[in-house]
């Protein structure tokens, strides 16, 4: 990975000095990250007009190529003519998102958060002071691959490597928490491993301050995020705080160590709702080679109730960095299988049938009551 500009505080963020006295990058001691490939996911098709290679945006950014696309935006590699033609990433929302008030608000919110945060393991945003001809974000361009891609080609990832990687991520997310920001969408594709053996937490589109009290509006709102990595309180649209991100990273660690997400199910939403009623399969049942300490760490992060999880990212990171000091409490022996739960997201057919049956039953009862009342002429 070639950074757009030097990152500060490298020695305070996992880097160390070699015997020759040089500063080694943070992932140099992680076995699976010795040769990180550069990889781009296949672009999703789109019927919307796209920026073309060679096109100049706002007399400053020369578009080179589209490197990523989702249902929300397209990301381009571009050259910044005002800064030595350095590579930058430009995220442009799809036209349908530009005219959607909520979608556009989230896009602006992501830029505000990105410009406010400054940590070596968080994606760096660049401010564009001049007026923009259209909404877009400018960020450092990263060469490398996501943790999800690396795990898919180098599975299984060694226990020690997985713990070290998550320790670095905890440092970055813990910094976000210290700034009053909860990420709310931590998953392998939002963790970037760079070719220069550094890493970044990316995508702040769902990031927000903690919501410590349940509200009626929150309960009635939409559920955002990746269902397989959501905390139970997110699935139920409840309050969320720092421990919500701890649960998500527990899901990531579970997947790295076992090769499967917790609560694996063909339906993403059924997977999500299972975590509100039960516990995942013990990691060592899926990977007997794991140490009891690693299993203890994962299950501590994946407790259903936030009060039963690590109280902070610092506490989580401390055990990731010193697994030999972890006290095994037998959490694996107290796991309960999930109970079946009917929901419109997880079981839409059953929920719809029950709702329809309830409506018919109500009409029948109402008809009988009305006919039982004497009619007076």
pLDDT by residue for the chain (377 residues), tens only, comes to: 333 343 444 444 566 555 555 678 999 999 999 999 999 888 877 888 889 999 999 999 999 999 998 878 999 999 999 999 999 999 999 888 777 777 778 788 999 999 999 999 999 999 998 889 999 999 999 999 999 999 999 888 999 999 999 999 999 999 999 999 999 999 999 999 999 999 999 999 999 999 887 654 444 455 567 899 999 999 999 999 999 999 999 999 999 999 999 998 888 888 899 999 999 999 999 999 999 999 999 999 999 999 999 999 999 999 999 999 999 999 999 999 998 655 544 444 445 555 566 666 767 677 677 777 665 55
Instruction: Name the residue among 295, 276, 273 with its Cα closest to residue 286.
Output: 295
Q: According to the model, what pLDDT value does residue 153 have?
A: 92
Indicate the pairing of strand 73-80 with strand 125-126: unpaired
Q: According to the model, what pLDDT value does residue 363 have?
A: 77
Place of tokens 């672009």: 43
Alpha-carbon gap, residue 47 to 74, rounded angstroms: 12
**How would you class 239 by CB atoms within 10 Å of its CB: exposed for 0-12, middle for 13-18, buried for 19 or more?**
middle
Distance of CA 46 to the CA centre of its chain: 24
Q: How many CB atoms within 10 Å of residue 339?
A: 10
Domains of the chain in start order, with CATH, are 42-140 (3.30.200.20), 144-334 (1.10.510.10)
Give the pair of three-digit tokens for residue 145: 């691959």
Burial 130-146 (b: 16+ CB within 10 A, else e): eeeeeebbbbbbbbbbb
Instruction: Name the residue among 199, 194, 206, 196 with its Cα closest to residue 245.
Output: 206
Assign residue 71 a region: left if phi > 0, alpha if psi is -120 to 50, beta otherwise?
Answer: alpha
Prediction pTM value: 0.84
Q: Which of 185, 203, 245, 279 is catalytic?
A: 185
Could you give the angle at the alpha carbon of 330 between the alpha carbons of 328 and 331, nearest 5°? 105
Q: According to the model, what pLDDT value does residue 267 have?
A: 86
307 is catalytic: no
Q: According to the model, what pLDDT value does residue 375 have?
A: 59
Torsion of CA 276, 308, 178, 141, to 10 degrees: -50
């Amino acid at each position: 990975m070639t950074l757009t500009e030097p990152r500060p505080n490298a020695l305070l963020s996992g880097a160390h000095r070699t015997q020759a006295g040089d500063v080694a990058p943070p992932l140099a001691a992680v076995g699976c990250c010795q040769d990180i490939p550069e990889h781009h996911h296949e672009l999703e098709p789109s019927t919307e007009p796209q920026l073309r290679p060679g096109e100049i945006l706002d007399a400053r950014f020369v578009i080179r190529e589209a490197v990523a696309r989702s249902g929300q935006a397209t990301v381009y590699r571009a050259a910044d003519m005002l800064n030595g033609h350095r590579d930058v990433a430009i995220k442009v929302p799809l036209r349908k998102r530009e005219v959607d008030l909520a979608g556009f608000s989230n896009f602006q919110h992501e830029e505000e958060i990105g410009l406010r945060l400054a940590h070596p393991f968080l994606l760096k945003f660049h401010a564009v002071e001049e007026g923009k001809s259209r909404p877009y974000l400018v960020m450092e361009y990263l060469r490398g691959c996501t943790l999800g891609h690396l795990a898919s080609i180098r599975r299984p990832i060694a226990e020690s490597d997985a713990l070290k990687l998550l320790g670095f991520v905890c440092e970055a997310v813990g910094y976000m928490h210290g700034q009053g920001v909860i990420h709310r969408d931590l998953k392998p594709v939002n963790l970037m491993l760079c070719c220069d053996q550094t890493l970044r937490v990316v995508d702040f589109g769902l990031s927000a301050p903690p919501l410590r009290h349940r509200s009626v509006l929150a309960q009635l709102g939409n559920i955002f995020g990746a269902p397989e990595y959501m905390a139970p309180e997110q699935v139920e649209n409840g309050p969320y705080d720092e421990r919500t991100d701890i649960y998500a990273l527990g899901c990531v660690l579970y997947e790295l160590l076992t090769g499967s997400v917790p609560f694996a199910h063909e339906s993403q939403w059924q997977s999500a709702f299972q975590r509100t009623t039960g516990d995942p399969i013990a990691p060592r049942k899926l990977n007997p080679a794991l140490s009891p300490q690693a299993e203890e760490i994962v299950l501590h992060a994946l407790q259903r109730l936030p009060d039963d999880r690590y109280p902070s990212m610092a506490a989580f990171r401390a055990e990731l960095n010193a697994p030999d000091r972890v006290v095994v409490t037998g959490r694996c022996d107290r796991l309960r299988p999930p109970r079946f739960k009917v929901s419109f997201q997880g079981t839409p057919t059953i929920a719809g049938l029950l709702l329809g049956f309830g409506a018919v039953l109500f009409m029948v009862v109402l008809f009988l009551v009305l006919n039982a009342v004497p009619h007076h002429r």
